[in-house]
Amino acid sequence: MTFAQTGLARTPEPPYVAVVFSSVRTEGDHGYAVMSRRMEELAALQPGYLGLESARDGGLGITVSYWTDEAAAVAWKQVAEHLVAQERGRSTWYADYRVRVATVTRDYGPDRA
């Protein structure tokens, strides 16, 4: 299993939005690694971005991006460079994928009760 980052995203007290992107990769890189890094960098520059967690085990990958609200998540989906990556994903990189958008209402761990 590989992880795109170390550590967990530091999110605020809920509510906030989580966009869960689950994917099954096709064979070969075809520029995927470069674009993936660029999308992480670009997302972090967007208004309302809170953080990202990503893991891939073989062909299956799950990336969760966190946003202050639904409007920020929708705006990210429409960023021009991200639209190019989405199209490339559909045509080249993903055998299958699913996007799920959820509002986080509870968030707890050792640093939060």
The CATH class of 12-104 is: alpha beta
pTM score of the predicted model: 0.90
- The contacts of residue 44 (CB under 8 Å, 6+ apart) are 52
Residue-wise pLDDT tens digits, 57-99:
988 999 999 999 999 999 999 999 999 999 999 999 999 999 9
pLDDT, residue 8, reads: 94
Residue extents of the structural domains in the chain: 12-104
The type of residue at 48 is: G
